Amino acid sequence: MSDNQGGLSPWKRSISFVLRIRNEKPCAKTVENIRQRLVTEGFEATLCGKPRETPSRPPVFDGEQEAKVIALRLGPAPKGFANWSLRLLAEKVVELGIVESVSHETVRRTLKKTA
């Protein structure tokens, strides 16, 4: 039986052990990617990852707009409705010109942050 279990050299197996790769038999490609990152980006970036330089998307609402959405939600529901739905709220936010467009999911995340 070979000492090279799972296609990894003893050196790569020790890398997977030190970095606590949780698979019983870590993929050789995973270990190779980590090794490559160590060489190109350094120790700290390999262990902790490197933060994005900019967010993937700019926020839809600024602080003032968020406050308006929250105030709208806390106000009375539209006629014919007992409560605000997220979709109704998103439509009203666009109708009032708070933002140009917004999804109900963005409204949900905004309200959840403040709950």
The 10s digit of each residue's pLDDT in 50-73 is 777 877 888 899 999 999 999 999
Instruction: Give the residue extent of every domain in the chain.
Output: 6-48, 63-114
19 contacts 34 by C-beta, under 8 angstroms: yes
Q: What confidence tier does 1 reach under pLDDT thresholds 50, 70, 90?
A: very low
Evaluate if residue 4 carries a pLDDT over 50.
Answer: no
Looking at residue 80, what is its pLDDT? 94
The string of DSSP letters for 10-59 reads: HHHHHHHHHTT--SSS--HHHHHHHHHHHHHH-HHHHHH----SS-SS--
Span 76-99, average pLDDT = 95
> Average pLDDT of the chain?
82
25 contacts 5 by C-beta, under 8 angstroms: yes
110 contacts 61 by C-beta, under 8 angstroms: yes
Span 92-103, average pLDDT = 95
Distance CA(100)–CA(97), nearest Å, equals 6
Looking at residue 84, what is its pLDDT? 95
Evaluate if residue 29 carries a pLDDT over 60.
Answer: yes
Distance CA(73)–CA(4), nearest Å, equals 62
Evaluate if residue 35 carries a pLDDT over 90.
Answer: no
Backbone torsions φ then ψ of 8, nearest 5 degrees: -105, 135
106 contacts 60 by C-beta, under 8 angstroms: yes
Q: What is the pTM of this model?
A: 0.56
